[in-house]
Amino acid sequence: MATSTRRLRSKDGRSLSDQVYDYLADQIIRGKMGYGDKLNIKRIAAQLEMSSMPIRDAIKRLEQENIVVVKPRSNCYVRMPTKKATLDAIESRRMVETFAVTSIYPHVSQLELSQLRRVLESMRPIASASTAEKDRKRLEEYIELDRQFHTELCSLARNDYIDRFYREISMHLSMSFSYGIGVCHGLESTFAEHEAIVSHLLDHSPMAVTVLKEHLLRSRENIVSESMFQTLPQ
């Protein structure tokens, strides 16, 4: 985890423990923490400039969601996922994203799609770069943009329960995989699929759902073929 100091303050009626939970969830989703990593409560409290109580409350919530393991003497670790848990998360992701796109394509506006289009424009130069230029840093940038794309896609359903559930799914997938690992069938192909989804949404076409399902199926195939997945316990 990064060692920089980040100060959180209660705002918008949200408790500090909620904000800490969001912070830790974001660290996991972005791959800053992976399975087996230790969560040091004192260190996190120092980084966020607060007492340990909101940290403990947030970690307790992560424990209830099976994201972390809490052992005696305040030892907390990001839980090692199982094959079943990973496959369950993949299937849940498919259901949530399919529901979101199915519910929005008949009426979504150009204005509502503006953020997705901005993400696409940020993806474009990375996807079109030559292989030699796609170094690890650029790939990580693309993976983060991929995460933003799918998160924004779900948020267009304007459903708080979907947003929370999708964040939990993202954490479970990110414990062992970089969230955008589904891009390994080719950045160009993945970008083209993203572009097609947005194009069909602009046309209010149900083809947006069809392309999304194919896209997520390829992502699943990529994940289960990864050597990392094969090493996970059942």
Residues 6+ away with beta carbon under 8 Å from 137: none
- Based on the fold, state whether residues 87 and 73 are members of the same structural domain: no
Residue 1 is assigned to a structural domain of this protein: no
Indicate the pLDDT class of residue 180, thresholds 50, 70 and 90.
Answer: very low
Residue 88 is assigned to a structural domain of this protein: yes
- The range of the structural domain enclosing residue 226 comes to 83-230
Indicate if the pLDDT at residue 7 is higher than 70: no
- Based on the fold, state whether residues 27 and 141 are members of the same structural domain: no
Neighbours of 19 (CB within 10 A): 19
What pLDDT sits at residue 153? 96
Residue 142 is assigned to a structural domain of this protein: yes
Question: Is the separation of the CB atoms in 104 and 156 below 8 Å?
Answer: yes
Indicate if the pLDDT at residue 2 is higher than 50: no
This prediction has a pTM of: 0.81
Residue 2 is assigned to a structural domain of this protein: no
Indicate if the pLDDT at residue 18 is higher than 80: yes
- Based on the fold, state whether residues 221 and 131 are members of the same structural domain: yes
- Based on the fold, state whether residues 49 and 96 are members of the same structural domain: no
The tally of domains found in the chain comes to 2
Query: What would the pLDDT profile of 60-106 be if each residue is shown by its tens digit?
Result: 999 998 889 998 776 898 888 888 988 999 999 999 999 999 999 99
Among 78, 104, 121, which residue terminates a domain? Answer: 78
Lowest mean pLDDT, pick from 39-43, 143-147, 173-177: 173-177
Indicate if the pLDDT at residue 158 is higher than 60: yes
Among 51, 78, 105, which residue terminates a domain? Answer: 78
Residue 10 is assigned to a structural domain of this protein: no
- Based on the fold, state whether residues 113 and 187 are members of the same structural domain: yes
Among 78, 93, 128, which residue terminates a domain? Answer: 78
What pLDDT sits at residue 189? 87
Higher-confidence residue: 2 or 91?
Answer: 91
End-to-end CA distance of the chain: 28
What pLDDT sits at residue 3? 45
Domain CATH code at residue 71: 1.10.10.10
* Strand locations in 1-89 (E): 68-71, 75-78
Indicate if the pLDDT at residue 188 is higher than 90: no
Query: What would the pLDDT profile of 192-211 be if each residue is shown by its tens digit?
Result: 999 999 999 999 999 999 99
DSSP 175: T
What pLDDT sits at residue 11? 56
Residue 9 is assigned to a structural domain of this protein: no
Query: What would the pLDDT profile of 21-51 be if each residue is shown by its tens digit?
Result: 999 988 888 878 888 889 988 999 998 999 9
- Based on the fold, state whether residues 186 and 128 are members of the same structural domain: yes
Domain CATH code at residue 105: 1.20.120.530
